[in-house]
């Protein structure tokens, strides 16, 4: 019975050691993206165009408000952007989008994973 506290202490030490040697969390891998950067602007424009083609929403790209990039598992990048888009009546809104792609690759390899309205401007 005396060995139980020792065993628990050793187990706790092992867990702490493993936790200390693991790579930083996924949120630490996110990099803030420059909304005025050429690639980020192209990704934002891509997201609005693809969504508009699929849903006939009549959206027009206005710009990227903010964004983050992350290296995707298996290659490519994940872009988490907030884009501004306008409807034909002139009303504007912000949309959160998630795009996966490889910079410099053909357009057919890019994927729009999420596009949802988050704010009316």
Please choose, from the candidates 43, 41, 103, the residue with its C-alpha nearest in 3D space to the C-alpha of residue 71.
103
Q: Which two tokens stand for residue 101?
A: 């792609």
Residues in the chain: 121
Tens of pLDDT, residues 43-83: 999 999 999 999 999 999 999 999 999 999 888 999 999 99
- The residue that leads in pLDDT, 29 or 12, is 29
Structural domains of the chain, ranges and CATH numbers in brackets: 26-120 (3.10.450.10)
Q: Which two tokens stand for residue 58?
A: 């009549």
Tens of pLDDT, residues 4-28: 666 555 555 555 444 444 455 444 4
Pair 92, 121: CB distance under 8 Å: yes
Please choose, from the candidates 120, 83, 119, the residue with its C-alpha nearest in 3D space to the C-alpha of residue 98.
83
Q: What local confidence, expressed as pLDDT, does residue 111 receive?
A: 96
Q: What is the spatial distance between Cα 27 and Cα 2, in angstroms, rounded to a whole number?
A: 41
């Amino acid at each position: 019975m005396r060995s139980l506290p020792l065993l628990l202490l050793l187990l706790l030490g092992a867990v702490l050691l493993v936790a200390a040697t693991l790579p930083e969390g996924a949120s630490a891998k996110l990099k803030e993206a420059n909304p005025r950067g050429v690639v980020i602007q192209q990704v934002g424009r891509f997201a609005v165009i693809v969504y508009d083609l699929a849903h006939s929403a009549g959206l027009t790209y206005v710009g990227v408000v903010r964004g983050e990039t992350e290296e995707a598992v298996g290659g490519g990048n994940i872009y988490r952007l907030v884009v501004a888009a306008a409807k034909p009546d002139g009303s504007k809104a912000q949309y959160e989008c998630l795009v996966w792609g490889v910079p410099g690759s053909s357009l057919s390899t890019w994927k729009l994973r999420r596009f949802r309205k988050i704010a009316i401007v």
